[in-house]
Structure 1
Amino acid sequence: MSPFANGFRDAMLAILLTAAPALASAPQPTYVGSQVCGECHQVELERWRGSYHDLAMTEATEETVLGDFDGVEFTAHGVTSRFFRKDGDFMVRTDGPDGELHDYPVPYTFGWWPLQQYLIPLPGGRLQSLGIAWDSRAKDAGGQRWFHLYPDEPLDHRHDLHWTSRDQNWNYQCAECHSTHLKKGYDLATDSFSTTWSEIDVACEACHGPASGHLEQARLAAAGGVAHWDKRKGLVVDLADRDGGHWIIDAETQLPRRSVSRKTHTQINICARCHSRRGQISEHYVYGRPLGDTHRLALLDEGLYYPDGQIQGEVYVHGSFIQSRMFAQGVTCTDCHDPHSLKLKAERDQVCAQCHLSARYATQAHHHHDEGSAGASCTACHMPQRAYMVIDERADHSLRIPRPDLTIATDSPNACNGCHADKSAEWALEAYEGWYGKTAPDRPHYGQALHAGRVGATEASHRLIALAGDEAQPAIARATALDLLHQYPDPTHMLTFRRLLQDRDPLVRAAAVRYLDTANPPTLMELGFPLLADPILAVRTEAARTLAPLAAMPLPDGEKVRLDAALEAYRASQLVNAERAESHLNIGLVEAAANRPEAAEKAYRTAIRLDPKFGPAYVNLADLFRTLGRDQDGETLLQQGLAVIPQDASLYYALGLLQIRAKALPQAVGSLTRAAALDPDNPRYSYVQALALQGAGDLPKALAILDQALERHPTDRDILFALVTFNQQSGNLEAARDYAARLKALK
């Protein structure tokens, strides 16, 4: 074996052992099952029985199926489905992947309240989540009915949200968090699953980890005394508080505080594995390790969160909670929720009164609403709910003070207008200031910086860098600011980034290393290489992706070995979800950056094989062909893509650029016009469409396109610059000066 091979092997081994320390220890603990746990922990087992964890997934039986399968029909999207029984099985007749009606067995239920879904097997070991669900609420609450989870989305069997699609696949989307010790068992060669679990639901060992060591020590202790217990009693993770901390009321402030500052977040990381919007990057889950060792947490991205961090999309609590002052003060999940029954530890507002004095907060002097009204409730104001899956009300766990001023400034919602929907935010702000003064509205909020970054405001750059560097702000907000700063590259930011690359929070470090893709190679190597040894896998994978272009350059042998090993670990992190086209796209992008075109092409083609309707794979493969001088192959490929996904604006845009390179300007104008029409919210499409029109000699139409685009994107610098230039060309110098003044104001 060559010295290089030895070095590569050693580097890979170091990376894998850092990613999953438990891999180096033996023997590995095994799962014993909840029934065995219950032999000693009967009380906990009984509390768990019937909980939403216990009922997360079950075999379909008379006791577990809540829906009406007595020949009931339900019509949605032009399809009439029938729920019935046959030979003891629960069945549904509905439209399949070919659009035709078929009879399907329902072997599993999924969830319990307020709705229950049903899983249907399809070839290749797939279980698919039916888009029609049962409303399990009481009839007088609107329940006891079938309903469609996407009632307003016009869909048929070709739609990405149809129950037969990859996006509705249980093996990928749901399984990890609804069963215990799940092994997905995906095979890329056959595009099939062989998924297994130790228990069908979320059982004891889903949180406590495999318990064989605990069981062995318990049996030895029963026979020979407590000397056989180790510090963690054989458990792979210790979820108990061992610091003696408890909640007290501070004598001076009358506010709750923990008697001992919380040093670890083990329990929260365990819960976050499932109760967060995240992507899996490792199958080697180690109980008690930080979330970033196996998952990449979604940040406060548009569509998932409002600018001020309130929940917008379905984000599953964790990303909200880590924004809260309660998290910062050491509150953890089981301070409010019983870990076994999952019920609140007290009724309604009394769960808050465990720490917050009722005499101070449960009064009209504090909430200014009639006793017993919705506005007098803690959760109505501080944990407003949003409905997901049509009827599932979920509370925002950022536990924030209502801020009508932020509604005015950022268009984020506020709890006041959530109830008083007929009133304006200005009305709510006036009432708020009348009750509490102007203290809260005068306080800066990270939502203002994130909003500025989203809309391209003049002050966005300095607001975002200030937020990113402020350690008093939630790490998830700071990391989001760093990602938004990609739109505002500035060499002076590097002074701050040097510090943020060493930040104590991995979310910030990962976002900081992502920003380095704007840096030159020497800076990238100097600042990025140390992150390849970061203790958190999510940071290391981001570092590897960002450093990939250096693999195409001459490097000292040691650095080359480290980078090659890191890139291999990155590929492995993507292949955790090898069934997804997005994973192979990511691999292709890294291979292209590393100047490995054959590997990049293979990855892109794999993405297209898995999902022929995945537009980014066509676009990036066509762009790879451009770099290789194969534009003819690129045009053929893009036309193939448009035959499958004719409404994909990105394919028309890529085709238009290719046609410009081929000097086929009339065809390019047609393609770019189509792209802009399909996606009018993308300013780049309208901008390039206008450039093509101007190049084709139609300056008036180009100006009209730019004016329309500027109405939708008033701070877009490219559009403004083009309006300056084109108005100069048309002789309208007054308009050119006006647009130039607007452009200058943005700098």
Structure 2
Amino acid sequence: MSKPRLYTLLSLLVLLVIGLGYGWLGDAPAPAPAPSHGYTKALTMAHEGQPGAARVLYQQLARADLSGIRRASLHAELPNYPSPLALKLADQDLSHDDPLVRRAAIASISALVPAPQRSVLLGPMLEDPEQSVRFAAVDALLGLGPDDVGLYYGPLQQALEQYQQALLKQLDDAAAQVHLARLYVHEGHDDEAAQALERALTLAPDDLEALAAKVRLLDSQGHADASRELLAQALKRHPDSAFLQHELGLWLMRHDQHEYALLAFDRALALDPDNAEYRYTLALTLHSLEQVEVAQKQLETLLARQPANRKARVLLIGYWKETGQLQNVQVLLAQLEQQNPDDPLVQQGL
């Protein structure tokens, strides 16, 4: 066969293969449709407490193609949308390949599950191959009594000791030393906790977290005057610190000076009006002083700014029930049902 004829035949064969290829592609099944709401939309809906937020949040967490950072971001919103499915999705992510996702799932479960039942789900994570995951599980289980920890008491103590040893190697990190102090306090080792806080304050004399931790430690040891003086000195250096004003309010609450605590909490909120936790604490204090209507208004303001804040919504529902304003309760429950029809509070109803 001459070369021109050979080249012509080869060209025809190539065209035939290409044509068959297009035919196979045309007969191939269409790719599965993408979720009706994308990741960004779902995250926005969940963060803003929009109607349908839970459904699209669960939908995104059910995907297998999300990056670790995206799954972790979704988990940050999940505690506002509790349900059996939410817990199932969080539990599944305890086995995710990415340690970031496993840590995020631990945080979700910590918020979704009452403390006494937490160890059943999180106990196995104390033996996770990744150190940071084991330590996240320790943080989630701190404060539980031996009966609540149950079979995981031994692994918890072992992981706690590893955690302490790791933090002891970070003597030049003030935040690590504050965290170490917290672990020591949990175990009742106040002297070691005090030493860790002194190291933190030596490294960063104006570290407000370390200062507040030392105030709380001194107070718990019965050194009320010393703790008050330390807090007063810190406030003198940082008079516009909302954080320290809030700590002052907590100190006054511990010493049954609720009226003065109210002033401190109010001042903290004035300095940081977008802080949801400060507004929530102020509402609780107002309610304890039988200023129920003002407490309700604070929670209404909080929900107007953060409709997804379930903790504030649940508290306000309770306050409305106390005052017999069931129509307001129905409104809040209806909004909650729009966000998450499977919320246990919606299922429970009035």
**What TM-score, normalized by structure 1, do the two folds share?**
0.35
Check if 1:745 corresponds to 2:350: no
Distance in 2 of aligned mates of 1:557 and 1:708: 42
* Residues 493 and 670 of structure 1, relative CA distance in 2, 3 Å threshold: same
What does 1:50-129 correspond to in 2, within 5 Å? none
Q: 2:246 aligns with which of 635, 653, 660?
A: 653
Distance in 1 of aligned mates of 2:42 and 2:83: 17
Q: Secondary structure of the residue that 2:92 maps to in structure 1? A: helix
Q: Is this contact kept in 2: 1:618–1:651, CA < 8 A?
A: no
Partner of 1:611: 204
Greater strand proportion: 1
**How far off its partner does 1:599 sit?**
3.2
Code of the residue aligned with 1:507 in structure 2: it is L
Partner of 2:131: 537
**How far off its partner does 1:526 sit?**
4.1
Q: 1:482 aligns with which of 70, 75, 80?
A: 75
Partner of 2:38: 445
Partner of 2:182: 589
Q: Is this contact kept in 2: 1:464–1:482, CA < 8 A?
A: no
Q: Is this contact kept in 2: 1:449–1:464, CA < 8 A?
A: yes
Distance in 1 of aligned mates of 2:198 and 2:165: 18
Distance in 1 of aligned mates of 2:167 and 2:91: 28
Q: Is this contact kept in 2: 1:540–1:566, CA < 8 A?
A: yes
**How far off its partner does 1:679 sit?**
0.7
Q: Is this contact kept in 2: 1:721–1:739, CA < 8 A?
A: no
* Residues 462 and 677 of structure 1, relative CA distance in 2, 3 Å threshold: same
**How far off its partner does 1:626 sit?**
5.7
Code of the residue aligned with 1:611 in structure 2: it is A
Partner of 2:260: 667
**How far off its partner does 1:694 sit?**
5.4
Q: Is this contact kept in 2: 1:548–1:567, CA < 8 A?
A: no
**How far off its partner does 1:650 sit?**
1.9
* Residues 446 and 643 of structure 1, relative CA distance in 2, 3 Å threshold: same
Q: Is this contact kept in 2: 1:691–1:702, CA < 8 A?
A: yes
Code of the residue aligned with 2:133 in structure 1: it is V
What does 1:242-261 correspond to in 2, within 5 Å? none
Partner of 2:234: 641
* Residues 717 and 544 of structure 1, relative CA distance in 2, 3 Å threshold: closer
Code of the residue aligned with 1:680 in structure 2: it is P
* Residues 471 and 704 of structure 1, relative CA distance in 2, 3 Å threshold: closer
Between stretches 716-725 and 654-663, larger displacement belongs to 716-725
Q: Is this contact kept in 2: 1:532–1:543, CA < 8 A?
A: yes
Q: 2:96 aligns with which of 487, 503, 506?
A: 503
Partner of 1:676: 269
Q: Is this contact kept in 2: 1:469–1:478, CA < 8 A?
A: no
Distance in 1 of aligned mates of 2:305 and 2:268: 16
**How far off its partner does 1:446 sit?**
1.6
**How far off its partner does 1:478 sit?**
1.4
Q: Is this contact kept in 2: 1:653–1:671, CA < 8 A?
A: yes
**How far off its partner does 1:574 sit?**
3.5
* Residues 476 and 724 of structure 1, relative CA distance in 2, 3 Å threshold: closer
Code of the residue aligned with 2:172 in structure 1: it is E
Greater helix proportion: 2
User: What do residues 55-96 of structure 1 show as CA deviations (whole Å, max 9, x unaligned)?
Assistant: xxxxxxxxxxxxxxxxxxxxxxxxxxxxxxxxxxxxxxxxxx
* Residues 488 and 700 of structure 1, relative CA distance in 2, 3 Å threshold: closer
**How far off its partner does 1:722 sit?**
6.2
What does 1:445-594 correspond to in 2, within 5 Å? 445-457=38-50, 459-488=52-81, 490=83, 493-518=86-111, 519=113, 523-549=117-143, 553=146, 562-575=155-168, 577-594=170-187
Q: Is this contact kept in 1: 2:116–2:148, CA < 8 A?
A: no
**Bigger relative contact order, structure 1 or 2 (CA pairs below 8 A, ≥6 apart):** 2
* Residues 486 and 642 of structure 1, relative CA distance in 2, 3 Å threshold: farther
Code of the residue aligned with 1:528 in structure 2: it is L
Q: Is this contact kept in 2: 1:615–1:648, CA < 8 A?
A: no
**How far off its partner does 1:476 sit?**
1.9
Distance in 2 of aligned mates of 1:546 and 1:467: 25
User: What do residues 667-701 of structure 1 show as CA deviations (whole Å, max 9, x unaligned)?
Assistant: 22221111001110012322333444455566676
Task: Give the superposed CA RMSD.
Answer: 4.1
Distance in 2 of aligned mates of 1:713 and 1:719: 9
Q: Is this contact kept in 1: 2:103–2:133, CA < 8 A?
A: yes
**How far off its partner does 1:601 sit?**
3.6
* Residues 725 and 528 of structure 1, relative CA distance in 2, 3 Å threshold: closer
* Residues 648 and 740 of structure 1, relative CA distance in 2, 3 Å threshold: farther
Q: Is this contact kept in 1: 2:127–2:155, CA < 8 A?
A: no
**How far off its partner does 1:592 sit?**
3.2
Q: Secondary structure of the residue that 1:606 maps to in structure 2? A: helix
* Residues 744 and 608 of structure 1, relative CA distance in 2, 3 Å threshold: farther
Distance in 1 of aligned mates of 2:290 and 2:267: 19
Q: Is this contact kept in 2: 1:549–1:593, CA < 8 A?
A: yes
Code of the residue aligned with 1:737 in structure 2: it is Q
User: What do residues 491-531 of structure 1 show as CA deviations (whole Å, max 9, x unaligned)?
Assistant: 66443344322223322222223444344677544443433
Distance in 2 of aligned mates of 1:522 and 1:672: 30
What does 1:278-293 correspond to in 2, within 5 Å? none
Check if 1:599 corresponds to 2:192: yes
Code of the residue aligned with 1:581 in structure 2: it is A
Code of the residue aligned with 1:504 in structure 2: it is D
Distance in 1 of aligned mates of 2:149 and 2:259: 50
Distance in 2 of aligned mates of 1:462 and 1:545: 30
Q: Is this contact kept in 1: 2:303–2:312, CA < 8 A?
A: yes
Q: Is this contact kept in 2: 1:694–1:702, CA < 8 A?
A: yes
* Residues 252 and 544 of structure 1, relative CA distance in 2, 3 Å threshold: farther
Distance in 1 of aligned mates of 2:288 and 2:208: 28
Distance in 1 of aligned mates of 2:255 and 2:277: 20
Aligned length: 307
Q: Is this contact kept in 2: 1:581–1:611, CA < 8 A?
A: yes
User: What do residues 303-342 of structure 1 show as CA deviations (whole Å, max 9, x unaligned)?
Assistant: xxxxxxxxxxxxxxxxxxxxxxxxxxxxxxxxxxxxxxxx
Distance in 2 of aligned mates of 1:564 and 1:252: 63
Distance in 1 of aligned mates of 2:131 and 2:173: 20
* Residues 467 and 589 of structure 1, relative CA distance in 2, 3 Å threshold: farther
Code of the residue aligned with 2:68 in structure 1: it is A
* Residues 683 and 624 of structure 1, relative CA distance in 2, 3 Å threshold: same
Distance in 2 of aligned mates of 1:641 and 1:662: 19
Q: Is this contact kept in 1: 2:170–2:177, CA < 8 A?
A: no
Code of the residue aligned with 1:746 in structure 2: it is L
**How far off its partner does 1:558 sit?**
9.9
Q: Secondary structure of the residue that 2:95 maps to in structure 1? A: coil
Check if 1:685 corresponds to 2:286: no
* Residues 637 and 485 of structure 1, relative CA distance in 2, 3 Å threshold: farther
Code of the residue aligned with 2:135 in structure 1: it is T
Distance in 1 of aligned mates of 2:315 and 2:121: 36
Q: Taking every aligned residue pair, what percent have the same amino acid on both sides?
A: 27
Distance in 1 of aligned mates of 2:136 and 2:69: 16
Q: Is this contact kept in 2: 1:619–1:650, CA < 8 A?
A: no
Question: 5+ residue gaps in structure 2?
Answer: 1-20, 24-32, 338-350
